[in-house]
Amino acid sequence: MNIEIKNIIEAYLLEATFDEGINPTEISKEGFIEVQKTTNELHGDYYSNIAMKLSKVLKKNPMDIGEHIKRDLTGKKYPQIKKIEIKKPGFINFFIEDSKRASIVTDIIQSKDIFKKFKTKTKKNIHIEFVSANPTGPLHVGHGRGLIFGKTLSNILRIQGHDVFTEYYVNNIGKQIDILSISVILSIVGLKKPFDDVDIYKGKYISIVADKLKSQYRDLLLVCKNSLSSNDTYESFLNILRKDFKSYLIFRDSVIDIIINDYIKKDLDDLNVEFSNWFHESELIKDDFVYQILENIKSKDLSYVKDGAVWFRSTKYGDDKDRVLVRANGALTYFATDIAYHSLKLDKYDYIINIWGSDHHGYVPRLTNALKGIGYDTNKISIHLIQFANLYRDGEKMSMSTRSGEFITLKSLVDEIGSDAINFFYINKKIEQHLDFDINTALSKDKDNPVYYIQYAHARIEKIISKVNLKDLDFDDTKLIDPKEQDLLRLLNNYEETFSVAMDTLQPQMITNYLYKLSQSFHSYYANIKIIDDEINYSRVSLVIAIQKVLKNGLNLFDINAPEDM
């Protein structure tokens, strides 16, 4: 109904006559006409602020514009609208006819695709990069929130009709990859770490990776063992390794391949996540693309050489200091390769989305300023920063550290609570808020566990449906007079607005919260109203079928099972 009211306003404005013209293009823009659910039934079912928006264009009092719109719309006698009221400072309140409020039931039941109305008018080719954890071990529970958010955004954008390309950016070069490789080498040759200035990776997975590579590399590494054991710093150890172990780079790639294929991809499979592409950082270097970008930066006088290093003029854009692009030893920084990677994406896609951890907060303007400096439109970039998720069990916060070997893997969490709970709980709050993930709640089978309660509502309705003959299904809104039925009808009428806003603003938690509220209202209805009696009230059956359809489609959006029996 929200969308119907919005369409009525749009159609009216496109043909309306005011003293001054209204730009039809502006009216048709997504988001220009806003219609929202009222919080107080005394103010009607929906309200719009369109009169206040138009007052800026027409230079007129919004109350007068509101009265003008009210008079014209009332004269058209739309069957959906019972009456219209204008409230200061210019809100237009719409009261919906009871019969039309109830018509949402048949609309939902008869619709082959209730998501069809959320299709965008401006289809885009969109790139989404998410997870992209360093391939230094299995994914842990701290990676889960960005993973689920990225998967959900991909689902939403596809439902809207966009072409979506998902990508995992693999950091396969740099210090952490060398530390990972050294950790495996020490395990293969049975050597205790001779240096103290850098920690190595631990955990059972290191010895498993070592076992996979031992037969191929052990003899070659044993030749280097004595020279390696005498190095008391990480850098000297790595230098000797590169000098004496000729197959080091091939070995390093093999370690990464095992981590990705045997751990990360399997973790993703457990949550039904499949990327369109896995992009390796080294690809930017192999074809010299990163150096072409560095030349571009230089040509625009945005870089300079100091102390043997190449610096980007970050302070030109308000940064507290300039940033290194190439170190004095010739090594590229992550900043340099990241500028190149985003240049590739911006050249190819209409819009790009990055999902990063909140610790990248200061890095975002640095990157976007660099891209803007070399001529890219940074309005085509959207970067979502995910706050950290804390895991709790029995009221105690759990550790997620990956370096100590004591981390909680994402796989272990999936094995314990299931993918449905993970898909829901990681997405159930705004990403800007810290998330406390309580395992005990996720395992509970009661109303405090929202995903269980939503699924239980779906299963309960399925049981009702199994007891009736759907060929006899008939809907008469006059038979839905109980206040709880009217509450459910209002909630159903609100689903379009909730889903539409959530999808347009990429805020999936709005939908999870709505599904939970709808299921709570249904359970209360189920407990107090006899849906199936000696004489079946098929209007009530129709109502719960519509509720189930919304619940099922909502759960499917989040890749959550909609069980028929619980």
Segment among 31-45, 79-93, 136-150, 412-426 with least mean pLDDT = 31-45
> Strand, helix or coil at 127?
strand
pLDDT digits (tens, 9 = 90+) for 229-255: 877 889 999 998 888 888 999 999 999
Which of the four pLDDT bands, split at 50, 70 and 90, describes residue 17? low
Separation between Cα atoms, residue 99 and residue 489, nearest integer Å: 11
Q: Which two tokens stand for residue 189?
A: 């040759």
519: amino acid identity, one letter: S
Look at residue 84 and give its three-state secondary structure. strand
Class of 2-96 in CATH: alpha beta
Task: Give the residue range(s) of CATH 3.30.1360.70 domains in the chain.
Answer: 2-96
**Which residue shows structure tokens 């989305």?**
353
Hey, which bits of 12-150 come out as E strands? 35-37, 46-48, 81-87, 91-96, 125-129
Q: Are 183 and 200 in contact (CB under 8 A)?
A: yes
User: Pairing between strand 35-37 and 46-48?
Assistant: antiparallel
Sign of CA dihedral 452, 457, 461, 464: positive
CA 313 → CA 182, 289, 366, 512, distances in Å?
Answer: 35, 21, 10, 44
Instruction: Work out the average pLDDT over 279-299.
Output: 94
pLDDT of residue 27: 63
b/e sequence 228-254, b meaning 16+ C-beta within 10 Å = bbebeebeebbebbeeebeebeebbeb
Lowest mean pLDDT among 190-199, 446-455, 517-526: 190-199
Residue 49 vs residues 27, 67, 263, 428, 503: alpha-carbon distances, Å: 13, 13, 52, 29, 21
Identify the residue whose tokens are 């093999």. 254
Confidence bin at 21 (pLDDT 50/70/90): low
Task: Find the DSSP H helices in 46-143.
Answer: 50-58, 62-76, 98-110
Q: According to the model, what pLDDT value does residue 78 have? A: 86
Burial of 306-315, coded b for 16+ CB within 10 Å and e otherwise, reads eeebbbbbbe
Question: What's the whole-number average pLDDT of the chain?
Answer: 90
The residue that leads in pLDDT, 19 or 515, is 515
Residue 547 falls in which region: left (phi positive, over 0), alpha (psi -120 to 50) or beta: alpha
What does the alpha-carbon distance between residue 26 and residue 10 come to, in Å, rounded to a whole number? 11
Q: Cα(510)–Cα(503) distance, rounded to whole angstroms?
A: 9
The b/e string for 183-216 (b: 16+ C-beta within 10 A; e otherwise) is: bbbbbbbebeeebeeeebbbbebbeebbeebbee
CA angle 499/505/510 to nearest 5° reads 45
pLDDT band per the 50, 70, 90 thresholds, residue 506: very high
- β-strands 309-312, 303-306 pairing: antiparallel
pLDDT band at 44; cut points 50, 70, 90? confident
CA distances from 515 to 103, 164, 175, 491, 494 (A): 20, 26, 45, 10, 11
Angle, in degrees to the nearest 10, between helices 175-189 and 248-259 = 100
Element (H, E) at 351: strand 351-357
What is the value of pTM for the model shown? 0.86
The closest alpha carbon to 437, from 460, 405, 414, 469, belongs to 414
**One-letter amino acid for residue 485 of the chain:** E
Domain 450-557: homologous superfamily in CATH: Isoleucyl-tRNA Synthetase; Domain 1 (1.10.730.10)
- Rounded distance, CA 182 to CA 70, Å? 74
pLDDT, mean of residues 264-290? 95
Q: Is the pLDDT of residue 28 over 70?
A: no
Among 170, 158, 51, 75, smallest CA distance to 113 is for 158
* Percent of the chain whose pLDDT exceeds 70: 96
Confidence of residue 519 (pLDDT cuts 50, 70, 90): very high
Token output for 287: 């074809």
3-state SS assignment for residue 276: coil
Tell me the pLDDT band of 542, cut-offs 50, 70 and 90.
Answer: very high
CA angle 195, 196, 200 (to 5 degrees): 85
Q: Provide the terminal-to-terminal Cα distance of the chain, rounded to the nearest Å.
A: 33
Delimit the CATH 1.10.730.10 region(s) of the chain. 450-557
Which residue did the predictor score with more confidence, 474 or 105? 105
Report pLDDT for 276. Answer: 97
Beta bridge partners of 280: 170
What count of other Cβ atoms lies within 10 Å of the Cβ of residue 491? Answer: 20
Query: What is the band of 268 on the pLDDT scale with cuts at 50, 70, 90?
Result: very high
Q: What is the average pLDDT across 339-368? A: 94
Is cis: bond before 24, omega within 30 of 0?
no
DSSP, collapsed to helix, strand or coil, labels residue 45 as: coil
Alpha carbon dihedral 494, 499, 500, 506, in 10-degree steps, equals 140
pLDDT tens string 479-503 = 888 889 988 998 998 898 899 999 9
Q: Is residue 272 over pLDDT 60?
A: yes
Query: pLDDT of 379-429, one tens digit each?
Result: 999 999 999 888 888 888 877 664 455 578 899 999 999 999 999 999 999
Average pLDDT over residues 221-225: 86
Average of pLDDT values for 358-371? 91
Handedness of CA 524, 442, 429, 122 (dihedral sign): negative
In the predicted model, is pLDDT for residue 337 greater than 90? yes
Q: Compare 100 and 548 and report the one with higher pLDDT.
A: 548
